[in-house]
Chain A
Amino acid sequence: MTAIHVSNLTKNFGRIRALDGLDLSVSTGEVHGFLGPNGSGKTTTIRILLGLLRQDGGTATLLGKDPWNDATDLHRRLAYVPGDVSLWPNLSGGEVIDLLGRLRGGLDGKKRARLLDRFDLDPTKKGRSYSKGNRQKVALVAALASNVELLILDEPTGGLDPLMESEFRAVINEERSTERTVLLSSHILSEVEALCDRVSIIRDGRTIESGSLAELRHLSRTSVTAEVATEASSLRGLPGIHGLRLEDHRVTFEVDSQHLGTALSQLSRLGVSNLVSHPPTLEELFLRHYRQDSDRA
């Protein structure tokens, strides 16, 4: 089952091309990371999925329906948290949570109370006196307390402190067990890494990579830092080694996954006394994509 299916989506704002043939596929029940730097088209895509913008080309299907024509029906089945939450200055947070819940067609009162507690949010403050993080919490509580099939979260943790961010992760991980689909747009890679089953990476309005984290990592390199007993210049010239740095007895390099074995046996011959290796973070993955792109350009 596909919750979101987007293919070859294009959108222009005047002469600026915001989306340039974007593809996105999210299965029902998965937490899908939607990654890209600022201005890459994440929010534009989401706003098309929400029926706020109309695409210029390509197709978008949400829960089997058309996001533009069936907007009202679809919105009963989804909840949305924008990255930049703007509240009515003279409505209290509690009022906004209830209002948005009711507009969506219902709110789980128990969940509301629990979430207010977990996010440590005072619902009696007026919209104008909340900080950015607290405004975001209002929108999060409103979205999470409703029993909808699909959550669309657009950089939802931008204003949250680390404590609240981990609380947010815990809540989303619980959502996973309830079979809800989550589309989580972010440029915070550790967040996506911690939460998402699958990831789509976009840049300049185009999807450049899509798949499970394992699949994406397979394509990439492992970072190795080691302390060795002897001079290590023999590592130079081995296949698949990149960015080798030698400082006295300390070596650091990246190695393509398929050449990891060769590199490790060479290290053991050099008398390795300490070894730290880690799989590529999404950050590195991300940077590599861009490096490749700019190399090509």
Chain B
Amino acid sequence: MSTLAGTSQLIGLILKRDRGRLIAWILVLAGFPIITANALLELYGAPSARAGLIATFGSSPAYSALLGPIYDSSIGALTAWRIGVIGGVLIGLMAILIVIRHTRDEEEAGRQELLGATVVGRHAPLTASMSVVVGAGFIIGTLVTVGLAGLGLEISGAVAYGVGVASLTTVFASFGGIAAQLTSGGGAARGLGMGILGVAFLLRAVGDATEAEVLGWISPIGWFTRLRPFAGERWWVLGLSISLAVVLAASAYLLASRRDLGAGVLPTRIGPAEAPEGLRNATGLAWRLQRAALLGWSLGVAVLAAIYGTVANNVDELFGGNPQLADALAQLGGADQLTDTFFSFTAGVLALFTAAYSIRTAHRLRAEEEALRAEAVLTASIARWRWMGSHLLFAFIGPALMLLIGGLVMGATYGSAVGDLGGELPRVIAVTLAQLPAVWVLTGATAALFGMLPRFTGFAWGLLVAFLFLGQVGQILRFPHWLLNLSPFTHTAAIRLENVQLLPIAVLFALSAFLAVIGFTSFRHRDVIA
């Protein structure tokens, strides 16, 4: 078919450009479940050990909202429960980001034009990028299946897990394909894709935690848990994923055939002929470039916090009178208050979310430099520290604002549900805001990387994934303390209103400030390079 001409060459090009990125994603996404299963085998090999774990988490709507329900007591089922949802979100992230990177971003950069004029069909870029992502999904799936089966887990469960991973990748690759057709900018397409991913995550969270179970059935991430690997696999659920992927991919192709190169389906509006008053300095420009993301992410935090606040009510009711379970729960955060532990956990999730916002916001510096837009500002009488500071301002203030919003919403929904708004609101806000210094360490690290090793600014994402892994599974898998302590989030998780520990807060603030200063000084002394 002529519209697909050149697809194989494009696949080659994508693999050449992205091999490092793809290998990293594959290793992380395949490694998560295998490492988790391995550790669970070592720590909870005995069924009695698992019984405690399940009794603690199994029937709590609050934890179902966070992680999904536990369907069975086998090691495999516990692996799927502990890592399935978070892995699913990461898979969606990978699929959407890579597809948009090789379709809409290429168009926006004008490189597609270069290729489009050669023997490359209209649909070749979409096909090539989706093929690469789906291929990566199948490799991850295969590795997971082989890895889990290699650990001695049930073959059918291992296959279900692997196939589930591959089909989830396919669904989100298709969502990415659609998002890339709708908007004319890569940033907007990514925003749309992330929005879809967020809705899928929230639908599943609400569906698993409340009576409205049907909501979980309209979320691709919900389908993954409902496939029930290692817990009486429901293979037919795969049919839902495959049908949706087919419909979405077909729509993406249809949209692609109907639009012009460079244009989106959604129209581009014209702008004002003159700049508004506010657009007069570096900060004004940064505000203009960052405000949409700030609003979108804040909204996401508010919705997530509202859901967590609503389901938190169940924690007390279910476990309030059971000291054994309280002990087990304390493993998670080490607090005596069950709801505190729960909120510390949810605050950790919000913190990771805001850290992602902060890294992407600080990373904008590198994007602007690479696109040669930084030099337009830097050659117009703006000192380097001012320009750098204008974006870092959002990277530092944004998370503070979002955590405050998160704490407020979570505290208000929970407080009004238990009828103690005055008591609960400050407590929840304190637990949530306590995460800020840990988030800022990542902000500072991104700034330092940008200043010292600009080509490796994206390495900050690797740090986030590492901290996420340590925080999500580190304690339950009993990693050594020194390893857990490497993550700044470990130090902020235990902070409560009643026992605010100033030392870790001060150390983390100092560290983030130190990293930011390194970033500023190194940028002052280095070449501005694309």
Q: Are B375 and A76 in contact, CB atoms less than 8 angstroms apart? A: no
Query: In this assembly, does B272 line the interface, its C-beta being within 8 Å of a C-beta of chain A?
Result: yes
Q: Are B275 and A98 in contact, CB atoms less than 8 angstroms apart? A: yes
User: Which residues of chain A come closer than 8 Å to B527, judged between CB atoms?
Assistant: 52-54
Query: In this assembly, does B13 line the interface, its C-beta being within 8 Å of a C-beta of chain A?
Result: no
| Known contacts A72-B382, A80-B379, A102-B280; A95 and B272 CB within 8 A of each other | yes
Q: Please encode chain A, from 87 to 104, with 1 for each CB lying within 8 Å of some chain B CB and 0 for all others.
A: 111111111111110111
Point out the residue from A52, A71, A94 that lies within 8 Å of B272, measured CB to CB: A94
Q: Are A72 and B383 in contact, CB atoms less than 8 angstroms apart? A: yes
Q: Tell me the chain A residues, 227-247 only, with Cβ under 8 Å from chain B.
A: none
Which of A52, A78, A97 has its CB near the most chain B CB atoms (within 10 A)? A52
Query: In this assembly, does B373 line the interface, its C-beta being within 8 Å of a C-beta of chain A?
Result: yes
| Known contacts A86-B376, A89-B108; A129 and B275 CB within 8 A of each other | no
Name which residue of chain A comes closest to B288, CB basis. Answer: A91
Which of B275, B285, B372, B526 has its CB near the most chain A CB atoms (within 10 A)? B275
Q: Which stretch, B263-271, B305-313, B326-334, touches the partner chain A?
A: B263-271
Which of A78, A89, A94 has its CB near the most chain B CB atoms (within 10 A)? A89
Main secondary structure of the interface of A (DSSP, over half): mixed
User: Which residues of chain A come closer than 8 Å to B274, judged between CB atoms?
Assistant: 94-95, 98, 123
Closest CB-CB distance, B151 to chain A, in whole Å?
46
Q: Are B272 and A128 in contact, CB atoms less than 8 angstroms apart? A: no
Q: Are A92 and B272 in contact, CB atoms less than 8 angstroms apart? A: yes
Point out the residue from A82, A123, A128 that lies within 8 Å of B273, measured CB to CB: A123
Point out the residue from A52, A72, A88, A105 that lies within 8 Å of B375, measured CB to CB: A52
Closest CB-CB distance, A185 to chain B, in whole Å?
14
User: Which residues of chain A come closer than 8 Å to B282, judged between CB atoms?
Assistant: 103
Point out the residue from A52, A53, A88 that lies within 8 Å of B289, measured CB to CB: A88
Name which residue of chain B comes closest to A72, CB basis. Answer: B383
Q: Are A91 and B376 in contact, CB atoms less than 8 angstroms apart? A: no
Closest CB-CB distance, A102 to chain B, in whole Å?
4
How long is the Cα–Cα vector from A98 to B278 in the complex, in angstroms?
11
Closest CB-CB distance, A18 to chain B, in whole Å?
11
Q: Are A102 and B275 in contact, CB atoms less than 8 angstroms apart? A: yes
Query: In this assembly, does A172 line the interface, its C-beta being within 8 Å of a C-beta of chain B?
Result: no
Main secondary structure of the interface of B (DSSP, over half): loop
Q: Tell me the chain B residues, 233-284 only, with Cβ under 8 Å from chain A.
A: 262, 268-276, 279-282, 284
Closest CB-CB distance, A11 to chain B, in whole Å?
9
Interface size class on chain B is 35 or more
Closest CB-CB distance, B103 to chain A, in whole Å?
15
| Known contacts A86-B373, A88-B289, A102-B281; A125 and B270 CB within 8 A of each other | yes
User: Which residues of chain A come closer than 8 Å to B384, judged between CB atoms?
Assistant: 71
Q: Tell me the chain A residues, 104-146 only, with Cβ under 8 Å from chain B.
A: 104-105, 123-126, 128-129, 139
Q: Are B108 and A95 in contact, CB atoms less than 8 angstroms apart? A: no
Closest CB-CB distance, A87 to chain B, in whole Å?
7
How long is the Cα–Cα vector from A87 to B379 in the complex, in angstroms?
14
Q: Are B185 and A99 in contact, CB atoms less than 8 angstroms apart? A: no
| Known contacts A53-B528, A128-B108; A92 and B380 CB within 8 A of each other | no
How long is the Cα–Cα vector from A124 to B273 in the complex, in angstroms?
5
Closest CB-CB distance, A128 to chain B, in whole Å?
6
User: Which residues of chain B come closer than 8 Å to A90, judged between CB atoms?
Assistant: 185, 271
> Which residues in A have some Cβ–Cβ distance to B below 8 Å?
47, 50-54, 71-73, 75-76, 78-80, 82, 84, 86-100, 102-105, 123-126, 128-129, 139
Known: A52-B378, A92-B272, A94-B271. 8 other contacts (CB 8 A): A47-B375, A52-B379, A88-B285, A88-B373, A92-B271, A94-B275, A95-B271, A96-B275
CB<8 Å pairs between A and B, sample of 9: A47-B375, A75-B378, A87-B373, A88-B289, A89-B184, A94-B272, A95-B274, A95-B276, A99-B284
The 10 closest A-B pairs by CB, nearest first: A92-B271, A98-B275, A75-B381, A103-B380, A95-B275, A94-B273, A52-B528, A102-B280, A123-B273, A86-B372
